Amino acid sequence: MADDADSDGVTDSPKKGPTLSTSTSSFEALDPHDPNLSRLATTMFQKTADYLYGELTATQDDYRLLEAMNQATIAKYSDMKQIASNVARTVADLNDRYRSLQPYLEQIDQIEDSVTKLEQAAYKLDAYSKRLEAKLKNLEKR
């Protein structure tokens, strides 16, 4: 009797009795079936397709956004590189100008020192002349 069950593709379930083999389908395309079930299945498949399409579209949109952000970043870094290059060039020019002006700046410093010394000498001379004038007035009064 066990041989008969194996040859038919039906096995006995301990709880429910005979079952169909999982290797064969009980649904045939031309068999009459419940139209409500068909409508629900069609709706389910359509909604599943819409969901999957939305997921794939969202992922595609994410990649497009990342690409746009990468392009903007590339452009920004290119601008920053250009600005840094211009700044470096300007700093080099200023350093060259400073080096070329260095002898003149040293001369200005020397002149300033000389002027300071002359100013001090002028104050001393002024003070000395005032003392002499005071002595002269003292002598004239006598």
The whole-chain average pLDDT of the chain stands at 84
Measured CA to CA, the distance from residue 48 to residue 41 in angstroms comes to 10
**Portion of the chain with pLDDT greater than 70, in percent:** 77
pLDDT of residue 77: 97
Q: Which pTM value belongs to this model? A: 0.46
Domain range annotation of the chain: 37-125
User: pLDDT-derived band of residue 32, with 50, 70 and 90 as boundaries?
Assistant: low
